[in-house]
Chains A and B, each alone.
Chain A
Amino acid sequence: MMQHLIVFPVVLPLIAGILLLYQRQGLVRYKRIVSVAATALMLLVAIGLLRQAASGEITYYALGDWQAPFGIVLVLDRLSALMLLLTAVLAVGAVVFACAGDDEKGSNFHGLFQWQLLGINGAFLTGDLFNLFVFFEVLLLASYALLLHGGGKARIQASVHYVVLNLAGSSLFLIAVGILYGATGTLNMADMAIRVADLPAERDGLVTAGALMLLVVFGLKAAILPLYFWLPKAYASAPAPVAALFAIMTKVGIYAILRVYSLIFGDSAGGLEALEQPWVWWLSLGTLAAAGVGVMAARDLRLLVAYLVLVSVGTLLAGIGMRSPQAVSALLYYLIHTTLITGGLFLLAEMIGLQRGKAGTRLVKGRPMVQGAALAMLFFVGAIAVAGVPPFSGAFGKALMLNAAEGDQRLWLWPLLLLASLASLIALSRAGSTLFWRSHRGTISGSPLPYRQWFGVIWLLSAAPLLVALAGPVSSYTQATAEQLANPQVLIRTLLPNAAGDAQ
């Protein structure tokens, strides 16, 4: 039983999604129960996997018992386990929030939601480059349909851009995978790491081209500087629970960069070592600057949160660009914080919009809110956390990132990161005072919000104090994860006991 636990995060949402296909309309109650139960079960499985991976042992699951490098393997190490748990926690908040009524604005919400989870979990687990492409496509297809959930002009417009860009990205992904297969003769990432280590010199150029093309694809998913223009519109127009789940989607891109380049182009790759580093580093700084400007310019709360996602992407990529275990450890801590908090803020923005009636989430004077005080408290917590002001988790994450920078890196990262934080702080305080204080005099109308929405938001935003209270265990786990990533040899030896022996 325990050895099959690794395949559960993929199989469980798949089965739940198929069950949820039964009848397009009706059976609302049962569908909600199945969906929430499957997501809660996923959370338990993810906790189990995290405990298994925390020992530092790398375990894998060979599908159909075809051993690597020929079969497809699902690999569980500390990083995958962490990402799985993060996805599950986020999904529980989003799915409970959706049960308040968002799921009935279109058809098949819960089925698509589960398949999106299937794609995300698969991408975090797989040890095979082509399989990574397949899981990317699964999560993208589900996300296309979820983005359109509920319909409307703005959503369709944003979807056209999002879908066309990602289809072009998929083509590029296939070309990159083809080049890497042609040059190395394998698709298994661990095997590829060995082959790249003793690559004939004439193939260096080919592998470099393939690797950098992969960076473009992952950069598109992660929304790095020249490839982020789809993100603000898509995230701002997506239905709230979908936008909250999308908070993990940019992190899939970041995970892929972290995984592929630390494993295949790590210390043993000779001349190809760290070939992505200068690109990621400078573009991440550019992303930070552009996102800071975007945050200041946003005139809608949801757009503002979308740009805050971009700020976090810039920060995380800068951590990858620094390429040291300290930086990776800091970025993983920051990643947990930012995913949960921005997800929670998307949900909160929807609740604020619902209470303001016609004004919606636009940052203009509106009518006073029925539950304004409680919403304002939550907004205050979320804003403090995401802007990186003590006492909440954002301050810890940013301090760790700043501390991880060394030498020249400080010269660039410190001013940019601090200025982007300042921009977020200004924009959020302006947004908060407009939303909660500068309201019209008038009668309070509207109905109180359903308790499921409150649960979703509080579930996600409680990460802010919790990550501070548990900063010790969390950061020691991320530290251990970073060390494991810095030594890909352990993973390679686990997956390919024979081949690694030959290469030594």
Chain B
Amino acid sequence: MELLYAMTTGVLTACGLYLTLRGRTFPVVVGLTLLSYAVNLFLFSMGGLTTDGAAIVSEGTGYADPLPQALVLTAIVIGFAMTAFVVILAMRARSEVGNDHVDGKKEDRE
């Protein structure tokens, strides 16, 4: 499971990073979204992966580290708000500047 988890996080990060470095706003927004997914997965795994652990601390049985779950929840909420904001911003930039390049220049759009 660790291998699968690590690969998923890694692939998401790589795709996110590649897309963030693109020249147009739409791939950049998608890239940032992928990056925040990867970060959420990464944060979730930082307490160590536990299978069949109790979600609530009880005596005797093993339990999953609850803190990363709380952190991920916070990160998801913040990430969601930021994505919504950056989508609106990208649309405003498209309508004000007239094209969807991040630098607002038409000639080197490719």
Interface residues of A (CB under 8 A from B): 130, 134, 137, 141, 144, 148, 151-153, 156-157, 159-161, 163-164, 167-168, 170-171, 174-175, 177-179, 181-182, 187
Contacts and interface: CB of A to CB of B under 8 A. Distances in A.
A388 B78 CA distance: 41
B82 A170 contact: yes
Contacts of A159: 89, 93
Interface residues of B, number: 33
A463 to B, nearest CB: 34
A160 B89 contact: yes
A164 B46 contact: no
Contact of A156 (B32, B46, B74, B89): B89
Contacts of B39: 171, 174-175, 178
B58 to A, nearest CB: 19
B85 A156 contact: no
Given A164-B20, A174-B43, A182-B46, A130 B71 contact: yes
A181 B46 contact: yes
Given A152-B96, A164-B102, A181-B67, 8 more contacts: A160-B104, A163-B89, A164-B86, A171-B39, A178-B46, A178-B68, A179-B46, A187-B67
The B interface, classified by DSSP as helix, strand, loop or mixed, is: helix
A61 B20 CA distance: 40
B97 interface: yes
B96 A153 contact: yes
20 contacts: A134-B78, A144-B85, A153-B96, A156-B92, A156-B93, A156-B97, A157-B104, A161-B102, A164-B20, A164-B86, A164-B102, A167-B36, A170-B78, A175-B42, A178-B46, A179-B46, A181-B46, A181-B67, A182-B46, A182-B47
Interface string B53-72: 00000000000000110010
Interface of B: 20, 25, 28, 32, 35-36, 38-39, 42-43, 46-48, 67-68, 71, 74-75, 78-79, 81-82, 85-86, 89-90, 92-93, 96-97, 102-104
B82 A167 contact: yes
A167 B43 contact: no
A130 B68 CA distance: 11
Contacts of B38: 171
A135 to B, nearest CB: 11
A164 B42 contact: no
Nearest to B35: A171
Contacts of A163: 85-86, 89
A156 B96 contact: yes
B42 A134 contact: no
